[in-house]
Amino acid sequence: MKNFKLSLSLEDNPLKIKDFRFFIIGHFVSFTGSWIQNTAQIWLVYELTWSALYLGIFNFLSSFPTIIFTFISGILIDLFNRRKLLSLVAFFSIFPPLILGILTQFKLVTFWQVTFLAFLSGCLSALDVPLRQVFISEIVPMKFLTKALSFQALSFNTARILGPFFAGLIISYGSLYQCFYMNALSFIPFFIFLTFFIKTTKQKEIKKIEKGEIKKSYKEVYEFLKREKKILNVIISTANFTIFGATAIILLPIIVHKIHGKGGKEFAFLSSILGLGAIFGATLVIFWKTNQ
């Protein structure tokens, strides 16, 4: 810790940049909606099936696009204008939760409908998450980038706490389907900001990808990871946590209902606790400076 000092001045504060303020507000609102839906969606699956097996199937199929399509998303990010692409992703992200809300409200929803719509949302998320991270580099100068990414992580994990908390309130005092409508609405500010307010300061030149270049790119990544063992270790550690740790939330309905005899409200509030540690870590990155 002797190599670090606490800096409350935030001289390199990315919030000074108007475009980044629009981005982080839209980012926070949309992810709060996403966590509202994620929480309500898991409880909906449990109410439809009362089965740990179906919860596992749902979790696998809804996460599958992220595992597979994230590899392809990097290619799309380089092929298209990132602001326009992110706007399109935000726009199309409105429809799966909207449809799920309608199906749930009119009691037409089935397990496979929930799973299919979650799969569609997962496909969009596989492009959305890396695209947001790359897009930040186009709206903030390089000297602000580290803290800009930390603010993004902080807003994401704050949403990770508030989203399930709001879901618990909605489940307690409203109806489950309202959670899905809330998520659909949450993408609208982000879409508006991206379309009308945020202007990129720099845009990486969009180049046409030639035949064989995709294969070459993957080979370069493979060679890079072979050389950079530390990066590979970070990826392996992250994958290990994602597979065996982060997915533990899918078991919470079983614990809450079968062991403690509680319901959706308690499940939602328990889910909100999971983001506390990540908020602490992101806050440290924002306020601690390295002595060079």
Select from 179, 158, 157, 154 the least CA-distant residue to 268.
Answer: 179
Q: Which amino acid is at 44?
A: L
Domains of the chain: residue spans and CATH = 16-199+245-290 (1.20.1250.20)
CA distances from residue 164 to 38, 45, 167 in whole angstroms, order as listed: 8, 16, 5
Query: For residue 213, which amino acid is it?
Result: E
Can you tell me the distance from the alpha carbon of 227 to that of 217, in angstroms, rounded to the nearest whole number? Answer: 15
For the chain, 292 residues long, give each residue's pLDDT as a single digit of tens.
444 444 444 566 888 889 999 999 999 999 999 999 999 999 999 999 999 899 989 988 888 887 777 777 777 787 788 899 999 999 999 999 999 999 999 999 999 999 999 999 999 998 998 899 889 988 988 888 888 888 888 888 889 889 998 999 999 899 999 999 999 999 999 999 999 988 875 555 555 556 566 677 677 777 877 787 788 787 777 767 666 666 677 888 988 888 888 888 888 888 877 766 666 666 666 666 544 4
d(CA 56, CA 42): 10
Separation of alpha carbons 110 and 135, rounded Å: 37
Work out the end-to-end distance of the chain between its first and last CA atoms, rounded to an integer number of angstroms.
13
> In angstroms, rounded to a whole number, what is the distance separating the alpha carbons of residues 105 and 204?
44
pTM: 0.84
> Cβ contacts of residue 171 below 8 Å, gap of 6+?
40, 43, 179, 263, 264, 265, 268
For position 211, what pLDDT does the model report?
A: 57
